[in-house]
Amino acid sequence: MTTASLIALDWGTSSLRAYRLGPGGRVLDRLHLPWGIMHLPPAPDGTADAAPDRGFERAFDAACGAWLRDEPELPVIACGMVGSAQGWREAAYLDLPTRLDGLARRLVRVDRGDRAPVHIVPGLIERDGLPNVMRGEETQVAGVLAALPADLVADGDVLVCLPGTHCKWVSVQAAEVGHFDTFMTGEVYAALRGHTILGRTMRDAGAPDEAAFARGLAVAGSEAGRMGPLSTIFSSRTLGLTGTLAGTAQADYLSGLLIGHEVAAVAAALAREDRRPRIVLCGDAGLCGRYAQALRRHGLGEPTLTEQATERGLWQIAVDAGLVRD
Amino acid sequence: MTTASLIALDWGTSSLRAYRLGPGGRVLDRLHLPWGIMHLPPAPDGTADAAPDRGFERAFDAACGAWLRDEPELPVIACGMVGSAQGWREAAYLDLPTRLDGLARRLVRVDRGDRAPVHIVPGLIERDGLPNVMRGEETQVAGVLAALPADLVADGDVLVCLPGTHCKWVSVQAAEVGHFDTFMTGEVYAALRGHTILGRTMRDAGAPDEAAFARGLAVAGSEAGRMGPLSTIFSSRTLGLTGTLAGTAQADYLSGLLIGHEVAAVAAALAREDRRPRIVLCGDAGLCGRYAQALRRHGLGEPTLTEQATERGLWQIAVDAGLVRD
C-alpha cells in the first residue's frame, strides 16, 4: 500500500466523503458513506448516546478507521457542515473580505485523546447587505483557485459558480473573496416538483430532455421572463394544458426556467458592475453542462470546468496549515 | 322565507360555496362545504360510483338540495374548476381578448332530466406568448367590473389583482380583457415553508408580524432584491443565523419578499408600457392589505378594495345570459 499523507473529509448534512491522499494530494482511496451530520450511524446496541460525540466517532471510524489503524500518525482535515453548530465542533465563520489562505489559520481542532485529532475548516460569512454563509464551498473555491494559473488568481477577476441545492457564486478578485451570492435553485426546483401543482402533470422522462431545458432557458431570457420565476413557472402547467409541452418534458423545462432566471440575474449584476470575470464551474457534470449553456446564452463566454475541487482544496488548506508538506 | 332569484355556486378544487341570491343579487343564504371537485362526498354505502356524475350530484344536493325543494324553478349557475376537464362538465375556455359579457353566451348546461339544469361559466385562456388560464377568477373580475363606475370600465384602464394561491393580475382596457398574468406566489410560499430548509427555523408567530412583512417587502425592492427571489429567500435563513430575524418573524418576512418581488415585476411591466391603471384588489382581507402595502411602496397608488366579487359576478353573468332579470 502506498504511504498516505493526509486524510481529508467532506462532511455534509446528508453524506460523508472520505479521501486518503498521497504526496501532492493524489487521491489513493475514496469512500462515500451516508453518514451526514444529520444521519449519523446509530449505536450498535440501539441505545441513545450519552454524549453527542459518539455518533460522530462512529461515522469517523467507518470512514477512515482502517486507514488510521495502518498509519496512525496521518493528519486529518474536514470541511462542511461538520463545523456547524449542529456538527462535531463549531468552527466560527471567517468574515469577508478574506484571502482563502486565511482558512488554514482558523482551523478548529477536535482533540480525541491519544487518537488522531481532526482539523475542521471554518465556513465563510458575508455580513454586509443581506448576510450570506457557506460551509464546504469555501474549500471547493480554494481547490478551484489552486487549479487556476497563479497570475490569474493573483491579479484577475474570477467568479466561481458551484451549482447544486444551494448554488453559490463566489467573486475572487486579486485573490480575495469579496462577495458571494446564494441561489436556492436546486432546492426550489425539488420543492416545486414535489409539492406544488406543477409536479402533478410531470412524467418521468427516463433521460434528460435537453430540448425542454433549452426551451425553459429561452423563456427565462425572453420578454415573458421579465415577470420573474414566480410567474414563468406556471407556464410549465399551461404549456402542458395547451398540448405544447409533454408531461415528460415539464421537469427539464422547469429546470431551464429556474437556471435561466438565476444566470440572467447574475449576468445583469455583472453588467451593472461592468465586470467580465473568468467564470469557473465546479460540481455535478450534467448540472455544470446546463449552467454552461445558460452562461453562453447570456453572453458570459465559455466557462472553465473544474473537478475534484474539494479534495484539492482540503489538500491546499492542509498545506497552508502545515499539516502536510506539498 | 324571501323568494330567491338564483342559486350561484363557486365550485373549486377543494371547496364549494353556495349562494341563494334574491332580487338584485342580494345574498339571502350562503353555505360553505368541503366538497371541492377533488373531494366529492363518498357514496353513503361506501361503494364506488358507477358514473362520475354521482359524486357531483351528492355535493350539489348537499349544497342546494333544500333550496331547490322549496323553489324547484330557480336557475342555477356555477363557476370554477367544476368546468374543468376534471369537473362535472368541461366548459371550453374563452379566448382573449374578450369582453366579459361573452361569458354568458358560452355557458355550458348540465342537463339533469326533470331537475334544475346547472349552467357552468367557462374560464379564460390567453394563447399568445406564454399561455395562461383561469377558472373562477373570470367571474370575480366580472363582479369587480360590475361594482366599478360604468364609464371607468367602458373607457378606462383597470388592473384587477386577485391574490391567493395563484395570484392573477387581469388587465381590462375599455371593457376588454386583453391580458393577464399568474404568479404562483401563495403556493410557492407554502412549498418553501413546508418543504425547504427555510421552514426548519421558522416558528409560529401566533399573530401576523407586520414589521417582518414590511422588512421582506423592503428587501425585495432594494438593490439586493435585484438578484431575484431564488436568491433573496435564502436571507430568511441567514438573517436568522446572524441573530437579526427571529424564528417567529421568518414566515412573514418570506411572505414580504415574495409579494414584494411579484409587485415589483408588475410595477416594472406597467412602467415599460407607460400605463397607470386603476388597480382593484379582491380576495382575503389580510392578504389584500399586504398587496396594498406593496402597491403603495412601488408607487402604484391606493388600490380599490372589492368584496363579494364572485357572488356579484355570478349574478351579472346570469343576468347577461337571461337566466334572471336584474
DSSP-assigned states of every residue in B141-205: HHHHHHHS-HHHHHHSEEEEEE-SSSEEEEEEETTEEEEEEEE-HHHHHHHHHHHSHHHHT----
CB B49 within 8 A of CB B32: no
CB-based contact A185 B132, cutoff 8 Å: no
Q: What is the pLDDT of residues A21-45, one digit of tens each?
A: 999 999 999 999 999 999 999 988 8
Q: What H or E segment, with its residue span, contains residue A284?
A: none
The arrangement of strands across the sheet holding B124-126 comes to: B94-95, B124-126, B132-134
Nearest CB to A258: which of B230, B233, B262? Answer: B230
Over its length of 326 residues, how does chain A's per-residue pLDDT go in tens digits?
679 999 999 999 999 999 999 999 999 999 999 999 999 999 888 888 878 789 999 999 999 999 999 999 999 999 999 999 999 999 999 999 999 999 999 999 999 998 999 999 999 999 988 999 999 999 999 999 999 999 999 999 999 999 999 999 999 999 999 999 999 999 999 999 999 999 999 999 899 999 999 999 999 999 999 999 999 999 999 999 999 999 999 999 999 999 999 999 999 999 999 999 999 999 999 999 999 999 999 999 999 999 999 999 999 999 999 999 87
Helix axes of B285-297 and B210-220: crossing angle, nearest 10 degrees: 40
Q: What is the pLDDT of residues B99-151, one digit of tens each?
A: 999 999 999 999 999 899 999 999 999 998 899 999 999 999 999 999 999 99
What mean pLDDT comes out for the span B254-264? 98
Name the residue among B250, B252, B220 with its Cα closest to residue B238. B250
Q: Chain A partners of B191 at a C-beta cutoff of 8 Å?
A: 191-192, 195-196
Q: Chain B partners of A127 at a C-beta cutoff of 8 Å?
A: 242
Which one of A165, A180, A184 would you mutate to disrupt binding with B, by most B Cβ within 10 Å of its Cβ? A184
CB-based contact A187 B181, cutoff 8 Å: no
Question: C-alpha distances in angstroms, A140 versus A152, A153, A288, A310, B43?
Answer: 17, 15, 15, 5, 60
Grid coordinates 482551523 are at which residue?
A107
Name the residue among A193, A151, A192 with its Cα closest to residue A278. A151
Nearest CB to B265: which of A227, A239, A242? Answer: A227
Question: C-alpha distances in angstroms, B283 versus A182, B143, B175, B275, B306?
Answer: 34, 12, 21, 24, 8
Confidence class for position B1, pLDDT limits 50, 70, 90: low
CB A269 within 8 A of CB B226: yes
Round to whole Å and give the CA distance between A241 and A239. 5
ipTM: 0.94
Q: What per-residue confidence (pLDDT) applies to B46?
A: 82
Round to whole Å and give the CA distance between A324 and A316. 9
Q: What is the pLDDT of residues B174-212, one digit of tens each?
A: 999 999 999 999 999 999 999 999 999 999 989 999 999
| Least Cα separation, residue A210 to chain B (angstroms) | 20
% residues pLDDT > 70 (chain B): 100
| Least Cα separation, residue A270 to chain B (angstroms) | 11
| Least Cα separation, residue A237 to chain B (angstroms) | 9
CB-based contact B130 A184, cutoff 8 Å: no
